[in-house]
């Protein structure tokens, strides 16, 4: 570490790195010294106990210490690679260590050196050994030191002793950047660790019982024990969760100061509106409507997340909310992730509220339609729809990303509804939610809907700036969907069952993970019943030609044009398709009441939340429905995941099980939230979350605008830009 190196110093200027290697580090997102110090290990190998060679067990990780008896380089002409072999011995025996394409090791490792080797023990023709082990020079045998050229040059590495004989951190890597290389870079940087400024007050750290940031960085990169790792991770996660709580709380305070249109509907008029429904609202739906109506009657923006099980009736809640806004003379925007879903919402609206005369438009990339009451529906040029939205003549707009395209403006936008909010980018959501009237005076109310349940243990933390409503009750008459795991031996029986359902007039969905086969896959001699990664086209050929040649089999995938997708779905709705083979394009919102079987090929390749979404595409009519999980995998983790889907009574119960199986980080996905990985992993630690929340409340209680905490205000602003949880 050269004098003057700071956290903000670019890595290319750090001694031992240079411009060329800095380019490799950038592939990991590492540009500055701070980036490197905050590049935390993903796991640790425990090489803390030195084993005797005679006691090595194949397949087990181990660390040995011995003298290099021989080192040589071989050439594999067939694969054009160099093979470096070293024989290392201790008092109990000898082993061979092998490395590939690392010619530099011949110059580094010399006969007579005492080294540590660490890695998984292999068992080959030449006996037990190590393949690509970590190594460390720890000394020289007394007889050989005098014969080793430049022995003193090895002293620095000997003193460091970073890679074996201890807990060894393993980092996220990229081509040309190994964990060992990262350890070599980070170790000298720790000499400057005291220069890392502590951003949290000592009193806060004491109350939360977490360590100083400098101790945490040492503990996470080069721990003595796993307890050191746990304490270090807890400290770093506390800071990020604290910032997250501040971001959420500040957003609530900000919205409380914004203006919104207060839109009320008299109870009698709302009762008349409900009479137009062909069904009664469930108690859960009615409760959510009361919450929303209370929110939008206030002169400040609603910011609400509506979670509901698949098929629980979230859409009708959104439609009713939009009508209330429109009846108050304002506009509502209803944005869906796909054209299929947007079109379905439009037709649902027209079917139930066909006498609505204030104008409902469908605006997608494919075109536009509008209706102003019974018999007054027509196709319309996009430009004309956009013009009528700008003048306020159309009160409700339903669409896709087309609603936020350049040039689309609203006269008085009172409500934004975003369906399946996790499918939109941050900027797309902000483009709608941040839409103000031209004079900047009013923000729209905001309703975000999701059928992907978030466990309660996470929602309070992740969505602290949102009010959360939950619909857990399914509409009356819905039967629970029966879910079965189908192993290879049961495929024939499953196909027979499907045939029986089609004979009864029912329809079938078949889901495959991919659209088409990769070119390098060999299809010769294919077993039609093998559960490899299925493709829609392969599955379509198999089912239409081999399994169900007498049935009407069609396929649907993302490469079809919007008009082609719409045409296929229309035929599915009309019942002229028996079996529809599709990709995850039908994951969200598709409503075919006559479909009673969801057959999922390669079920182990989908996440639990996605599988549950697929399952929810059936069971929407009066008939008993089934979800068949086809898999060839016999691994225990796969069995546990699929069994969780089989036994879960609802999406929220499944989400809790999924959280327990995978942990918060994998459950939510760091890329989806932008939240640092350690913070994500720690969200199940209720005590830590409450501690961070209490710390945030304490700061804002005495300084609600962070005027007295300039440094903290800057950090929170940067954190706000990085995370995206809504």
Condensed to tens digits (0 to 9), the pLDDT of residues 79-109 reads 678 899 999 999 999 999 999 888 888 888 8
How many Å apart are CA 656 and CA 21, to the nearest integer? Answer: 43
pLDDT, one tens digit per residue, over 421-447 is: 554 444 555 555 555 554 458 889 999
Residue 531's pLDDT band (cuts 50, 70, 90): very low
What does the mean pLDDT of the chain come to?
83
**CATH architecture of the domain formed by 482-648:** 3-Layer(aba) Sandwich (3.40)
Q: What is the mean pLDDT of residues 367-372?
A: 91
Q: What is the mean pLDDT of residues 20-29?
A: 92
pLDDT at 337: 84
Q: Does residue 240 register a pLDDT over 70?
A: yes
11: left (phi over 0), alpha (psi -120 to 50) or beta: alpha
How many Å apart are CA 325 and CA 332, to the nearest integer? Answer: 7
Could you tell me the residue ranges of all domains in the chain? 1-43+170-196, 49-165, 267-297+313-450, 482-648
Q: Does residue 348 register a pLDDT over 60?
A: yes
Residues in the chain: 726
Q: Which of 389-403, 531-545, 609-623, 631-645 has the lowest mean pLDDT?
A: 531-545
Question: What percent of the chain is modeled with pLDDT above 70?
Answer: 85
* Cβ-proximal residues to 369 (8 Å cutoff; 6+ apart), any chain: 346, 361, 362, 377, 378, 379, 380
Q: Which of 60-69, 140-149, 290-299, 541-550 has the lowest mean pLDDT?
A: 140-149
pLDDT at 521: 44
pLDDT at 674: 57
Q: Does residue 675 register a pLDDT over 70?
A: no
How many Å apart are CA 355 and CA 373, to the nearest integer? Answer: 4
Q: Does residue 40 register a pLDDT over 90?
A: yes
Block residue for tokens 């990339």: 365
How many Å apart are CA 655 and CA 509, to the nearest integer? Answer: 24
Q: Does residue 515 register a pLDDT over 50?
A: no
Specify the CATH superfamily of domain 49-165.
Nucleic acid-binding proteins (2.40.50.140)
pLDDT at 413: 93
Max mean pLDDT among 364-368, 377-381, 486-490, 668-672 falls in 486-490
Dihedral angle sign, alpha carbons of residues 24, 28, 32, 37: negative
Per-residue H/E/C for 429-441: HHHHHCCCCCCCC
Residue 476's pLDDT band (cuts 50, 70, 90): confident
Q: What share of the chain is helix, strand, coil (3-state, %, to 5)?
A: 45, 20, 35
Residue 4's pLDDT band (cuts 50, 70, 90): low
Closest Cα partner for 675 from 724, 712, 726? 724
pLDDT, one tens digit per residue, over 699-708 is: 999 999 999 8
Q: Do domains 49-165 and 267-297+313-450 have the same CATH topology?
A: no
Specify the CATH superfamily of domain 267-297+313-450.
P-loop containing nucleotide triphosphate hydrolases (3.40.50.300)
């Amino acid at each position: 570490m050269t004098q003057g190196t700071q956290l903000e110093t670019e890595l290319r200027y750090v001694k031992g790195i240079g411009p060329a290697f800095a380019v490799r580090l950038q592939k990991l997102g590492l540009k500055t010294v701070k980036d490197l110090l905050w590049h935390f290990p993903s796991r640790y190998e425990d090489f803390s106990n030195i084993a005797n060679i005679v006691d090595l067990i194949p397949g087990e990780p181990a660390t040995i210490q011995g003298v290099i008896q021989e080192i040589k380089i071989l050439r594999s002409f067939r694969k054009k690679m160099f093979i470096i072999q070293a024989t290392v011995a201790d008092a109990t025996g000898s082993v061979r260590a092998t490395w590939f394409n690392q010619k530099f090791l011949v110059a580094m490792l010399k006969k007579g050196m005492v080294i540590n080797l660490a890695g998984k023990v292999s068992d080959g023709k030449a006996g037990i050994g190590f393949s690509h082990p970590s190594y460390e020079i720890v000394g020289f045998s007394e007889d050989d030191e005098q014969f080793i050229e430049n022995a003193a040059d090895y002293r620095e590495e000997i003193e460091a002793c970073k890679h074996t004989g201890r807990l060894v951190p393993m980092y996220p890597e990229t081509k040309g950047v190994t964990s060992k290389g990262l350890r070599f870079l980070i170790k000298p940087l720790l000499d400057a660790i005291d220069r890392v400024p502590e951003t949290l007050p000592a009193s806060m750290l004491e109350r939360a019982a977490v360590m100083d940031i400098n101790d945490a960085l040492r503990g996470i990169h080069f721990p003595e024990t796993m307890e050191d790792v746990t304490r270090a991770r807890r400290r770093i996660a506390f800071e990020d969760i604290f910032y997250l709580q501040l971001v959420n709380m500040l957003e609530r305070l900000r919205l409380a100061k914004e203006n919104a249109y207060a839109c009320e509907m008299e109870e009698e008029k709302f009762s008349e509106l409900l009479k137009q429904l062909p069904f009664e609202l469930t108690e859960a739906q009615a409760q959510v409507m009361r919450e929303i109506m209370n929110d939008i009657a206030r002169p400040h923006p609603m910011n609400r997340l509506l979670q509901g099980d698949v098929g629980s009736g979230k859409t009708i809640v959104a439609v009713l909310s939009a009508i209330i806004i429109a009846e108050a003379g304002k506009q509502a925007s209803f944005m869906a992730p796909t054209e299929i879903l947007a079109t379905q919402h439009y037709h649902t609206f027209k079917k139930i509220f066909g006498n609505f005369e204030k104008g409902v438009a469908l605006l997608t990339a494919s075109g536009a339609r509008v209706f102003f009451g019974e018999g007054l529906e027509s196709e319309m040029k996009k430009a004309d729809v956009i013009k009528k939205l700008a003048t306020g003549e159309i009160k409700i707009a339903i669409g896709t990303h087309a609603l936020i395209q350049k040039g689309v403006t609203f006269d008085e936008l009172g409500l934004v509804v975003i369906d399946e909010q996790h499918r939109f980018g941050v900027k797309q959501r902000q483009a709608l939610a941040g839409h103000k009237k031209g004079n900047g005076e009013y923000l729209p109310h905001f309703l975000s809907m999701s059928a992907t349940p978030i466990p309660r243990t996470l929602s309070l933390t992740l969505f602290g700036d949102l009010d959360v409503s939950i619909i857990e009750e399914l509409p009356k008459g819905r039967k629970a969907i029966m879910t079965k795991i189908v192993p290879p031996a049961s495929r024939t029986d499953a196909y027979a069952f499907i045939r029986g359902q089609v004979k009864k007039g029912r329809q079938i969905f078949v889901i495959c993970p991919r659209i088409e086969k990769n070119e390098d896959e060999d299809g010769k001699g294919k077993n039609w019943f093998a559960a490899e990664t299925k493709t829609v086209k392969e599955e379509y050929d198999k089912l239409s030609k081999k399994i169900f040649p007498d049935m009407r089999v069609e396929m649907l995938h993302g490469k079809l044009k919007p008009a082609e997708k719409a045409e296929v779905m229309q035929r599915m709705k009309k019942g002229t398709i028996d079996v529809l083979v599709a990709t995850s394009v039908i994951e969200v919102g598709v409503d075919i009441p006559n479909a009673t079987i969801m057959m999922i090929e390669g079920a182990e390749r989908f996440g639990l939340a996605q599988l549950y979404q697929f399952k929810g595409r059936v069971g929407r009519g009066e008939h008993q429905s089934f979800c068949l999980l086809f898999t060839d995998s016999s691994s225990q983790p796969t069995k546990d995941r699929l069994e969780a889907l089989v036994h879960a009574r609802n999406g929220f119960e499944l989400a809790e099980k999924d959280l327990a199986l995978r942990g918060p980080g994998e459950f939510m996905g760091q890329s989806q939230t932008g939240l640092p990985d350690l913070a994500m992993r720690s969200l199940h630690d209720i005590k830590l979350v409450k501690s961070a929340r209490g710390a945030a409340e304490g700061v804002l209680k005495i300084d609600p605008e962070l005027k007295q905490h300039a440094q903290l205000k800057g950090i929170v602003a940067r954190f706000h830009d990085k995370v995206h949880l809504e």
